[in-house]
Structure 1
């Protein structure tokens, strides 16, 4: 006997920031397709010169490669370059999706600023770096949420938003002022919008991943990450992107119909209670 998740067949989902080969966004997009969704995958239009070595070796083509995976599962895929921090860009994205695939039912706000010059002591944090992280991680989540909610309410529809936050937004940490602030903001935005939109048929939740085996871990050596995991994660290993994706698909499904306003940790037990 199986116990399948329901409510996602033939739904239209947008997953932002889903073009990297080792990423949560890619895993969420593919798992939503397995659950029956047609999926829009957004990316920044990265130049192949910016790809890490494993993507170059694999002949990776960013959102086009993810779209091929989704089509191989028998679902429609629409890869789109989009700037989620741009109000006009977000509206154009939704207009294009509605024209091509129809109204959107699920939004997964996964796009995030890459690790970069923001990972410094707050005394050395440049305002432009801070603004860039906030613009993509928090402003982008807000703009996507607002556009989706306005359009869903206008058609008297219903839907689900899953925001990808981080336990970093709960823990904070040295050298992560911009990132941690942005992810804490996503959690607060999740709470407020869930309370505002629940009576309009829209559920809003967030996932807070911990150490997950994506390309974001490339800035530390494997030995350094192994030591961190050993010291901090009760389950004794980093998570896989698909494990975060499974939680996202559940939150979008009928089986989570009474779940909203939550910020769930998916972190191997690193952070508990809160």
Structure 2
């Protein structure tokens, strides 16, 4: 008898930050659909002018394209434009999920603030502007990465407790929380806090059989890292820092997330699991 992951039939998963073509969120959503879940997909409703060239060439439609992939696997999909940094929007997302599918079982908090000028020394973090709104870049990263994870976990944990059937919350952290490298103050601090929140909520929700874990990817080939030049710069980064000699893929992360949601992962909670190809703290000599 072949070994296979179980525990997905009739289950509903919510995946945030699921709209990019080269990403972590999309493979996670697809993997959970392949396992047997119906999937709620969230994204920010990106302006098409911001799409990378490969998405434009493919005629990509953000979360609607991922929803089509989920449906092609025979599962139901609900794409929802939602801002996870807005607690009212998160509460509305819970309501839409329950209205459409009647339940929620797995929540994958993958949404993250874009790399937009925050990778500088902490003393030099500038002002991020959008229209008439001025927010410190530190605050923008915290609002999406940390607060968004908290709002999602809080709201959906309440729904899971009400259902009484347990569930799983998976927070996407980062190897940056371990490396604590210069010029990553906002990003790394948000991920350190996510790791702590994961452990605390796992202890709080354990009696309800709700598991809470974090997965912490290293260097993964996604469009979020398109600001790193490909060629020698990229090859040196991967070759010097990753013991296994290659960047990760969204599918690598999706396999771990799916396992943590499965019945086979049912005794794992409160953990931060680094999935980074053996990321080295200092470059090879």
Q: Look up the match of 1:6.
A: 6
Q: Look up the match of 1:233.
A: 242
In the TM superposition, residue 123 of structure 1 has moved relative to its aligned partner by 1.5
User: Which of these residues, 174, 195, 198, is aligned with residue 187 of structure 1?
Assistant: 195
* Alpha-carbon RMSD: 1.1
Q: Look up the match of 2:44.
A: 44
Alignment of 1:156-171 (within 5 A): 156-171=164-179
Any unmatched runs of 5+ in structure 1? none
Q: Does 1:133 align with 2:107?
A: no
Q: Does 1:205 align with 2:213?
A: yes
Q: Does 1:270 align with 2:267?
A: no
For residues 202 and 152 of structure 2, the distance between their equivalents in structure 1, rounded to whole angstroms, comes to 14
In the TM superposition, residue 200 of structure 1 has moved relative to its aligned partner by 1.2
For residues 122 and 12 of structure 1, the distance between their equivalents in structure 2, rounded to whole angstroms, comes to 40
Q: Look up the match of 1:178.
A: 186
1:66-93 per-residue CA deviation (whole Å, 9 max, x = no partner) reads 0000000000000000011111000000
Any unmatched runs of 5+ in structure 2? 128-135
1:203-244 per-residue CA deviation (whole Å, 9 max, x = no partner) reads 000000001010122111112121011111110000111010
User: Which of these residues, 129, 151, 156, is aligned with residue 148 of structure 1?
Assistant: 156
For residues 252 and 89 of structure 2, the distance between their equivalents in structure 1, rounded to whole angstroms, comes to 30
CA contact (8 A) 1:15 1:42 kept: yes
CA contact (8 A) 2:145 2:190 kept: yes
CA contact (8 A) 1:265 1:271 kept: no
For residues 24 and 2 of structure 2, the distance between their equivalents in structure 1, rounded to whole angstroms, comes to 26
In the TM superposition, residue 154 of structure 1 has moved relative to its aligned partner by 2.0
User: Which of these residues, 247, 255, 274, is aligned with residue 246 of structure 1?
Assistant: 255
In the TM superposition, residue 271 of structure 1 has moved relative to its aligned partner by 5.3
CA contact (8 A) 1:43 1:80 kept: yes
The size of the alignment, in residue pairs, is 272
TM-score (norm 1): 0.97
Q: Look up the match of 1:100.
A: 100
Q: Look up the match of 1:114.
A: 114
For residues 102 and 66 of structure 2, the distance between their equivalents in structure 1, rounded to whole angstroms, comes to 20
CA contact (8 A) 1:14 1:108 kept: yes
